[in-house]
Chains A and B, each alone.
Chain A
C-alpha cells in the first residue's frame, strides 16, 4: 500500500456542511485560489435536494506542486475514507458524521471544525434532551485527527456580518495546510464582509495553533451543586408564591437530605435531582405565572437583545394565548374550579374561552390585562390546581423517602420521574397519564414487594420511554415488558383462569 501516511500526489480536501450554508461558494473560492496559484485542481459535489438544509459535502483535489509539467494528474471525484488530508466542517455533528464514515485518519487528516451546533430534527423532537454529546465529538476529533483546530466559525461569521463560508475559508487559509500563501486565498474575495470574516477566522486559527488546549474545568462537587439547587429552588418558590412557599420547599428538601447519605454519590445525585424537580413542580406554570413572567421588565430586555433592536427602532411584542376553560378552572377556588371541570367533562366549556387571543404585552391594554391575570396569584393557594399539585407532590415525596432509605439507585430514577410532567394542555395531560401509569404499574408493585433495587433500571427506561414519543408507544412496550418480567402473583393467575 503506497498511500498510507504518504503526502505525495494530490492534496485532498473534504468540506462537510449543511445545504444552504454556502459550501459551494467556499468550494469555488478554493478552486479559484488554487488556479491562481498555478495548481491543477478539480472539485465536485452532490447538491441535489441536500441543498435544502440536509447534510452535504464537497470534495476538492489539488496537485501539491504548482505547474507540474505537462501531464495533468488524474483527479478523483469521490473522497476515499482514510485518504482525506483536510476535513473542514461548518458544524460539529457534521464533523462527527465524517469521523463515523472513516474519513479522518490520524496518519494524515487535519480537522478544522466549527464547534457551532445546528441541531438536527432527530435531536430536537425528543421530549427530553436529545442533543448529541459535543464532548464525545471533541474527544473523537482529538484522538483520530493528525492535527485539529476547533473553533466557533458560525459565531465568528455572525460577529463579522458574513456567512460561515467566509470564516471557513479564513480558517482553512490560516491553518497552513494549503500549498499557497494566505494572501493568495484572500485575493479571490470580493466583498468587505467576507474579508472581515476571513481575517478573523485566519487569525483565530493562528492563535489556536500557538496555544495548547486548556484543561477541562474541574467538575463542581456534588454538595456544592446541591446547595446551589436548594438556593435556586427556594428563590423560585418564593418568586412563584411567597416566603412561606419558599420555606415549605426548603423544609421538604431538608427532609429528603436528612434521609440521604451524601457520601454515596448515587444518593447525593438522587437528592439533588429531587430538589431540582421539587422546585420546578412547586412553581408550576399556570395562567397567573405565565402572565407574570410575560410582563417583567427583564423579559423585554431579553427580547430586545434577541431581536437585535437598534437605537431608533421601535418594537411591539404580541403574545399567543389560548386559555381554555381548564386553565381558568385551574386558577379559580377549588370548588368553583371543580364545577367548571365537571362542565368541561360533559363537553361544555365556558363562553369566550378556547379561542386564540393575540395580546400586545407591551401595549397598554395587553399589559394591564396580563397584570390583572398575574394578580390571580393572590388567590392561588385556594385554587383547584394548587391543591391537586400539592397532593401529588406529597405522594411523590413519601415515595422518595422510602426509596432513599432502601435503594439509592431506585431513588435516582424516582427523583427524575416528575420530568415527564411538562408542557401545557394536551401535552401536560399526556404527561400526567404517563406519570400515573408508571406509578401504578411499576412503582407501586415494587414498593409493595419491598424490593426496589431490581426495578431501578426499568424505572429509568420507563421515564425515557415516556419522553420518547407522544403516543406512549414506547412506554407501552416498556411497561408491558415490566409486567411480564415480574413474578406472577398467584391471585392474578387465578383471576386469569377464572375468566
Chain B
C-alpha cells in the first residue's frame, strides 16, 4: 500500500470531547466506529482509496471492537456484503468510487434495496465529478432514484460530514432502506476538525457471535412474487418513514436572509462554494451570514415536500443550484410546487449551466442573472459581471506575456515503472508490422494514451478491454490488441473478457500487466500480489516473477497460448508481440507482461539497502547517463520512454543549440534506457554506471589492474 496511515490510525481511538484534526475520509472512518458498525468493506479508487487503506491498516484496532474488515475484489462484491443487514440488525458500511463503482455494484444494489434492510446499511461514495476526475461524468443521483436508496450530500465540513454518517444509519434503520452518502473529491481530502465521540462496539459482531442463523422469511428475498410488494413498500411506507425522519431530525438546514422574496436551494456539498460566491457579490459575510434565505439539502433524495413548500411559501422565486445533469432535484421540486398549486417561480438550469462543476465563479453569474430578474432592487446594484471581466483580463494578459500555451502535464508512468518498457516494445513492434487496433483499459497503463506513446482506440471500463474488441476482430485483417492490468483482470477481465472469448473460439491478443497490485489507486493488493515469502526471496529482483496465479487461472480456463515475458527484456517482448500477431495459431493469445510495481519494489529495497550500507556491506547502485558529446539532441530515446528522469538540458557544447538528453539523479537504474537503445538501434550515447559502495578486495584489485592496463587514462 502506497501511503502509511500509522499516525492517523491513532486518531481513530479518540474519545468523547476530544478534537479530531485530519482528512475528511478519515473522519468518516472515525464516524463509522462511533456509529457501532459490525462490518466494513469496499473497493479502492480515488477519492476513497484512503478509506480502504485506513480500514486495512487499522484492522487490528477495528477487530478490538469486533468490526469485520473486508477489502473486496470489486464493487459488486462490496455491495453484496450489505446483504448481512437485510436479515440481521447489524450496521455495515461499504465504499467505492462513483459513478463507475456504482455501475459495477448496480445489480447487488437493486436486490438489496428491494427487500430493504433491518440494520443500518451505508454506502460512502466518492463522487468523482468535475476537476481532477478520472472517469466519465455522470451522476450517482440516478441510482438513488431508480433503486430507491436515500442519497445524502452533506455540507463539506467535518462536523457536518461526520454527523451525517451517524444520522445516515438512523435514517436507514428508520426507513429500512440503504443510504448512500456522496462526498466530492475535495471533500474527501479536506483537512479539518470535529469533536469526537467514543467508539461503540456493536451488539452483534465478531466479538458477539450469534448462535443461530436468521429464520427463513420469504418476504426478505428479492424474488417474485414478493418483489411486487417491495416496490409498493419502497415508494410508500419506507419513503414516508424517511421523509418523517429527515424532517423530524432537521437533516436539511435553513438559513435566514433579509431578502425574503427569493430563496436559494442548494445541494449541501455546494454550500461553501455558494457562500464564497455570495461573499464576492457582497450578499454574505465570511462567517456565512447571508442576505438571501438558503435551504441546504444535506439529503438530496428523497426531498420532503412539506419542507420545500414551507421554504417557498411566501417567495416570489427560488433558484435551485444543482450540479450535473440532468436536473433531477429541480424537476422534483417543480413537481412538488405544481401539485401544490404554488405560484413561486422555479429557476435553476435556465440561469446556470447544464453541465460541469459549479464553482463559485460559475455561481456568481447565475445568481446575478436570477436576482436581476426576480429581485431587481438588489440585482440591479450587483456588479457581478465585473468579476468575470477581471478574470478574463487576467487570463488574457497572462496569455500575451507567456506567448505560447502552457504545455500540458498529464500524469505519467513513475520513474522506473515496469509498464513503460512494454509500450516501448509495442511502439517498436508497430514500426515493423504497422498499427494495430488497441483496446485500452482503466489503470496505470492508460497513461500510455498520453504522449509519447499515444496508444488506444477505445476505453470501455475497468477490465473490459478484451471484451470491447470482441467484434472488432471480425472485420480487421490484423488481430486487435487488448491491454489490461492485473487489477482489471481480477476485477472483471477474466470473466467478461477471457472466458467469453474462449467460449466463442475468438482470436485476439491480450496483454496483462502483472505488476502485483492495483497501482493507480495506490498499490492495494489483489489475489495475485506476491506474498511475504516471495518478496523476501526476490530481494532486489521483481517480486512478481515467481507469482503464477494469473497464468494458472488462464490455463485453468483453457487458454492455450500464454507467454510470460519480463517487461525489461524489450527485444524479447517485441519479438513475442510480433509472434502473437503473426502466429498461425488461431485463438486467444495472452502475454503476461511481468514486472513488479516500482513504487512497491523501491519501498521494499530501500530498507534492505540502508541496512546493508549501515553494516558496511558491498552495495551496488546502478544509474544511467547520456554523453553530452555524442548526443545529437534528436530526442528519439525520449519518444520511446517518457521517463520523468530522462529529460533534456542545454548542451554543454556551445555549438549545439538544441537541448541534449540528460538523465537526472532520480534515475533508479531500471534498465529501460539501455534496452531501448539496443532494441531500437538508437544511438551510442547511453552509459550505465555501477557505483560500488564498500568495495571488497576483489573490486579494489580489479580497479588497480584496470588503471595500470589502461595506462592511467581513467584515473
CB within 8 Å of B: which residues of A? 1-4, 8-10, 18-20, 27-28, 31, 35, 41-55, 59, 71-78, 80-83, 93-94, 96-97, 99-102, 104-105, 118-129, 131-133, 136-137, 139-140, 143-144, 158, 228-229, 232-233, 236, 276, 279-280, 285, 289-290, 293-295, 297, 299-300, 302-303, 306-310, 312-322, 324, 354, 356, 358, 361-364, 367-368, 419, 422-427, 431, 470
Known: A45-B189, A93-B406. A313 touches B693 (CB 8 A): yes
Q: Is A121 within 8 A of B398, CB to CB?
A: no
Q: Is B401 within 8 A of A143, CB to CB?
A: yes
Q: Is A426 within 8 A of B286, CB to CB?
A: no
A43 → chain B, closest Cβ, in Å? 4
Set of chain B residues within 8 Å of A28, measured between Cβ atoms: 191
Q: Is A143 within 8 A of B397, CB to CB?
A: yes
In whole angstroms, what is the CA distance A99 to B703 when docked? 53
Q: Is B272 within 8 A of A77, CB to CB?
A: yes
B474 → chain A, closest Cβ, in Å? 29
Known: A48-B133, A76-B360. A285 touches B687 (CB 8 A): no
Known: A54-B410, A425-B683. A80 touches B647 (CB 8 A): no
Set of chain A residues within 8 Å of B700, measured between Cβ atoms: 314
Known: A44-B189, A100-B395, A316-B689. A362 touches B627 (CB 8 A): no
In whole angstroms, what is the CA distance A419 to B710 when docked? 37
B654 → chain A, closest Cβ, in Å? 6
Considering only CB atoms, which chain B residue lies closest to A59 in the complex? B186
Contact among B47, B571, B632, B714 with A422 in the assembled complex (CB-CB below 8 Å): B632
Q: Is B710 within 8 A of A306, CB to CB?
A: no
Q: Is A132 within 8 A of B360, CB to CB?
A: no
The answer to whether the Cβ of B156 comes within 8 Å of any Cβ in the partner chain is yes
Q: Is A315 within 8 A of B692, CB to CB?
A: yes
A47 → chain B, closest Cβ, in Å? 6
In whole angstroms, what is the CA distance A131 to B280 when docked? 38
In whole angstroms, what is the CA distance A411 to B233 when docked? 85
Closest 5 CB pairs of A and B: A46-B132, A54-B411, A356-B678, A140-B401, A423-B634
In whole angstroms, what is the CA distance A423 to B640 when docked? 14
B415 → chain A, closest Cβ, in Å? 8
Considering only CB atoms, which chain B residue lies closest to A279 in the complex? B655
Set of chain B residues within 8 Å of A289, measured between Cβ atoms: 630
Write 16 A-B pairs (CB below 8 A) sorted by A numbering: A1-B282, A9-B279, A41-B191, A48-B132, A49-B520, A94-B409, A121-B450, A123-B648, A139-B401, A276-B655, A307-B689, A317-B689, A319-B686, A364-B706, A367-B706, A424-B682
Contact among B186, B273, B280, B635 with A124 in the assembled complex (CB-CB below 8 Å): B635
B652 → chain A, closest Cβ, in Å? 9
Set of chain B residues within 8 Å of A132, measured between Cβ atoms: 404, 406-407
B2 → chain A, closest Cβ, in Å? 8
Known: A127-B634, A279-B655. A100 touches B627 (CB 8 A): no
Known: A118-B644, A125-B452, A367-B713. A81 touches B394 (CB 8 A): yes
A81 → chain B, closest Cβ, in Å? 4
Q: Is B360 within 8 A of A78, CB to CB?
A: yes
In whole angstroms, what is the CA distance A368 to B642 when docked? 34
Beyond the given A100-B395, A358-B674, could you list 10 further A-B residue pairs with CB under 8 A, ordered by the A residue number? A3-B279, A20-B414, A44-B189, A44-B191, A127-B635, A129-B658, A295-B713, A312-B695, A419-B657, A423-B683
Set of chain A residues within 8 Å of B682, measured between Cβ atoms: 424-425, 427
In whole angstroms, what is the CA distance A385 to B625 when docked? 28
In whole angstroms, what is the CA distance A303 to B686 when docked? 12
The answer to whether the Cβ of B579 comes within 8 Å of any Cβ in the partner chain is no
Considering only CB atoms, which chain B residue lies closest to A233 in the complex? B655
A168 → chain B, closest Cβ, in Å? 17
Set of chain B residues within 8 Å of A82, measured between Cβ atoms: 387, 390-391, 394
Q: Is B414 within 8 A of A427, CB to CB?
A: no
Q: Is B272 within 8 A of A75, CB to CB?
A: yes
| Total inter-chain residue pairs, C-beta < 8 Å | 358
Known: A54-B412, A236-B655, A423-B683. A124 touches B648 (CB 8 A): yes
Known: A308-B665, A362-B706, A425-B683. A74 touches B288 (CB 8 A): yes
Known: A80-B361, A317-B689, A425-B683. A52 touches B659 (CB 8 A): no
Q: Is A44 within 8 A of B190, CB to CB?
A: yes
The listed residue with most B CB atoms (<10 A of its CB), out of A28, A74, A131, A144, is A74
Q: Is B706 within 8 A of A363, CB to CB?
A: yes
Interface residue ranges of B21-75 to A (CB < 8 Å): 21, 24, 46-47
Contact among B128, B635, B647, B705 with A118 in the assembled complex (CB-CB below 8 Å): B647
Q: Is A52 within 8 A of B414, CB to CB?
A: yes
Known: A93-B409, A307-B691, A320-B678. A76 touches B273 (CB 8 A): yes
Considering only CB atoms, which chain B residue lies closest to A109 in the complex? B394
Considering only CB atoms, which chain B residue lies closest to A361 in the complex? B687
Q: Is B286 within 8 A of A73, CB to CB?
A: yes
B292 → chain A, closest Cβ, in Å? 14
Set of chain A residues within 8 Å of B405, measured between Cβ atoms: 100
Considering only CB atoms, which chain A residue lies closest to B686 in the complex? A320
Q: Is B279 within 8 A of A53, CB to CB?
A: no
Contact among B131, B447, B679 with A46 in the assembled complex (CB-CB below 8 Å): B131
The listed residue with most B CB atoms (<10 A of its CB), out of A31, A308, A422, is A422
A208 → chain B, closest Cβ, in Å? 21
Set of chain B residues within 8 Å of A358, measured between Cβ atoms: 674
Considering only CB atoms, which chain A residue lies closest to B453 in the complex? A121
Q: Is B394 within 8 A of A300, CB to CB?
A: no
A59 → chain B, closest Cβ, in Å? 8
In whole angstroms, what is the CA distance A28 to B405 when docked? 32
Q: Is B713 within 8 A of A297, CB to CB?
A: yes
Set of chain A residues within 8 Å of B623, measured between Cβ atoms: 307
In whole angstroms, what is the CA distance A365 to B128 when docked? 59
Q: Is A48 within 8 A of B648, CB to CB?
A: no
In whole angstroms, what is the CA distance A102 to B393 when docked? 8
A8 → chain B, closest Cβ, in Å? 8
Q: Is B273 within 8 A of A77, CB to CB?
A: yes
Known: A313-B695, A427-B683. A53 touches B361 (CB 8 A): no
Task: Please encode chain B, from 112 to 132, with 1 for each CB lying within 8 Å of some chain A CB and 0 for all others.
Answer: 000000000000000010011
The answer to whether the Cβ of B399 comes within 8 Å of any Cβ in the partner chain is yes
Set of chain A residues within 8 Å of B361, measured between Cβ atoms: 80-81
In whole angstroms, what is the CA distance A126 to B187 when docked? 39
In whole angstroms, what is the CA distance A20 to B382 when docked? 43
Q: Is A105 within 8 A of B394, CB to CB?
A: yes
Set of chain B residues within 8 Å of A121, measured between Cβ atoms: 409, 412, 450-452, 638, 642
B313 → chain A, closest Cβ, in Å? 26
In whole angstroms, what is the CA distance A358 to B190 when docked? 52
Contact among A71, A321, A364, A422 with B633 in the assembled complex (CB-CB below 8 Å): A422
The answer to whether the Cβ of B681 comes within 8 Å of any Cβ in the partner chain is yes
Contact among B24, B273, B627, B677 with A322 in the assembled complex (CB-CB below 8 Å): B677
Q: Is B282 within 8 A of A306, CB to CB?
A: no
The answer to whether the Cβ of B192 comes within 8 Å of any Cβ in the partner chain is yes
Known: A46-B132, A102-B395, A299-B627. A314 touches B699 (CB 8 A): yes
In whole angstroms, what is the CA distance A192 to B339 when docked? 68
In whole angstroms, what is the CA distance A104 to B683 when docked? 44
Q: Is B397 within 8 A of A93, CB to CB?
A: no
A475 → chain B, closest Cβ, in Å? 15
Contact among A122, A228, A316, A419 with B408 in the assembled complex (CB-CB below 8 Å): A122
Considering only CB atoms, which chain B residue lies closest to A99 in the complex? B398
Known: A20-B414, A78-B360. A423 touches B636 (CB 8 A): yes
B655 → chain A, closest Cβ, in Å? 5
In whole angstroms, what is the CA distance A120 to B411 when docked? 10
The answer to whether the Cβ of B403 comes within 8 Å of any Cβ in the partner chain is yes
Task: Please encode chain B, from 279 to 304, with 1 for each CB lying within 8 Å of some chain A CB and 0 for all others.
Answer: 11110001110000000000000000
The answer to whether the Cβ of B549 comes within 8 Å of any Cβ in the partner chain is no
Task: Please encode chain B, from 224 to 261, with 1 for each CB lying within 8 Å of some chain A CB and 0 for all others.
Answer: 00000000000000000000000000000000000000
Q: Is B409 within 8 A of A322, CB to CB?
A: no
Considering only CB atoms, which chain B residue lies closest to A30 in the complex? B191
The answer to whether the Cβ of B709 comes within 8 Å of any Cβ in the partner chain is yes
The answer to whether the Cβ of B377 comes within 8 Å of any Cβ in the partner chain is no
Q: Is A52 within 8 A of B687, CB to CB?
A: no
